Amino acid sequence: MSTVPITADAGPAGGDASALPASQRRCLALGLPRERALLIRFVVGPDSTVVPDIDERLPGRGLWVTAERQAIERVLQRKLFARAARHAVQVPDGLPQLIEAALERRCRDLLGLARRAGQGVFGYQKIRERLLDGAAGVLLEAADGASGDCRKLRALAPGAPVVRVLTAAEIGAAVGRDHIVHGFLLSGRLADRFVREAARLAGFRPAAPLPTTQPM
């Protein structure tokens, strides 16, 4: 894989960031432009430490990598952060695990915000009532949840996106309960942000088995 010097956030070949659409950045692992919603941004701090910038707010030159454990490991194995920065860098131990934990916290924070804003509904019966009323949004299922009730809710919202990446304990922690299997986020900016973060988190976790499609 060839390495392209990076002189600005997500520059294409030759380093000219303006040649890429604003929604795209160049993946350091693949050497190809990708939608930034699928990537993790990194910066090199003043002490030459590589820092994952999950919220994409830190100052400095951005180095972007596809939000998948395999892509991060490829960058580490080939020392691509140092090549892109053009100097030696320090990489935190267990970087993929640190990213996974940060994305999981981000998902939990968004769920808590959705609940407080009245945009999140949790618990099978409450969600069922919302769906029967015609509410549109995103279904949330615990990755370790049983399939029966999941199938029933999916049947009530056949076109709704389904997120199945957090555990019941993680969903519960987000909204102040021990564990929750079912959640529903009303369509809107919060739901869109959650879907993006959950998709990035999924790149660091084994895919959860989907509920079976056997008759109820």
Instruction: Report the 10 Å Cβ neighbour count for 13.
Output: 13
CA nearest neighbour of 38 among 196, 174, 154: 196
CA–CA separation, 122 and 114 (whole Å): 11
Q: Tell me the domain boundaries of the chain.
A: 17-96, 105-202
pTM: 0.85
* Residues contacting 201, CB < 8 A, separation 6+: 67, 100, 103, 104, 106, 107, 165, 166
The mean pLDDT of 21-44, rounded to a whole number, is: 94
Architecture of domain 105-202: 2-Layer Sandwich (3.30)
**210 pLDDT tier (thresholds 50, 70, 90):** low
The token duo for 116 is 């407080």
Helix (H) or strand (E) holding 25: strand 24-26
Is residue 142 within 8 Å of residue 198, measured between CB atoms?
A: no
Tell which wins on pLDDT, 27 or 19: 27
Is residue 30 within 8 Å of residue 24, measured between CB atoms?
A: no
What are 122-136's pLDDT values in tens digits? 999 999 999 999 999
Q: In CATH terms, are 17-96 and 105-202 the same topology?
A: no
CA–CA separation, 131 and 47 (whole Å): 51
What are 104-157's pLDDT values in tens digits? 999 999 999 999 999 999 999 999 999 999 999 999 999 998 778 899 999 999
Look-up of token digits 């795209």: 24
What are 69-104's pLDDT values in tens digits? 999 999 999 999 999 999 999 999 999 999 999 999
**Which class does domain 17-96 fall in?**
alpha beta
